[in-house]
Amino acid sequence: MISIKTPEEIEILKEGGRRLGIILRKVSEKVKVGVSTQELEDYARKLIHEGGDTASFLNYTPHGAKRPFPAAICVSINEEIVHGIPNEEPYIIQDGDLVSLDLGITHQGLITDSAVTLCAGNVSDKDRKLVENCREALFRGIKAAHGGTHIGDIGHAIESFARPLGYGISEGLAGHGVGYKVHEDPFVPNEGERGRGELLRPGMVLALEPMLTLGTDKIILDADGYTYKTTDGSRAAHFEHSIVITDSDPIILTK
């Protein structure tokens, strides 16, 4: 069932999203060659704790997972698409890496979710373009998500931008409702048809998150039970914002 958040809940989500946006920017500034993923995890936890909020992903067990997620932040490198674990076998960021950060925080009981991909050191033009275009794909999706349109319009906007550029769109991974839980209904695919799927109604809170690759759509789950990678080893990018549907353009919570 798709929940509609009250105006009071939306005010809390706005504040949570604002805090998340600041934390994600601060952690992003730490992403440099030679920094370990453990340091990013520790820094994210410190910032969340200082604000008096909690890390929504830490100890969260998504549907189908065999164990709780062990970290506050997901850090996914290069061919890793999403849900990389930063603190079990910490990785030192290398020159030319693509580093995706995905973070959720719970503020006064309500969750917002956001992700960015960063370029460490000297990244190839092709990789840099992938990152820029993935961000643009997110904004195309957000633009399509105004009240009175449908879930399919979001996927259509993302797909019709990304496919002609030759990018893969990771299959089976999608955006979602968010707020009371990390993952709520509806499922928000990154491909779709205009006018199809659920009607977008004011008060719906959605996390939109295109995941684009330089190669395949196919994904494989790593032995750690969380990290999704491209099956062909091609690099991936991921951007995400939590938004509120209104009568007109959506409100971006996590800017």
Q: Tell me whether residue 93 or residue 182 sits nearer to Mg ion (CB atom).
A: 182
Strand 98-107 relative to strand 80-82: parallel, antiparallel, unpaired? unpaired
Q: Tell me whether residue 96 or residue 180 sits nearer to Mg ion (CB atom).
A: 180
**CA atoms of 145 and 156, how far apart (whole Å):** 11
Chain residues binding Mg ion by CB under 5 A are 102, 113, 115, 207, 240
**CA atoms of 31 and 76, how far apart (whole Å):** 12
Residue 183 beta carbon to Mg ion: minimum distance, rounded to whole angstroms: 7
| Cross-strand pairs, 219 | 230
Q: Who contacts 180 (Cβ-Cβ below 8 Å, separation ≥6)?
A: 3, 109, 110, 111
For the chain, the C-alpha Rg in angstroms (whole number) is 17
> Which amino acid makes up residue 55?
A
Q: Tell me whether residue 135 or residue 194 sits nearer to Mg ion (CB atom).
A: 135
For residue 212, the Cα-to-chain-centroid distance in whole angstroms is 12
Residue 240 beta carbon to Mg ion: minimum distance, rounded to whole angstroms: 5
**CA atoms of 255 and 245, how far apart (whole Å):** 15
Residue 182 beta carbon to Mg ion: minimum distance, rounded to whole angstroms: 7
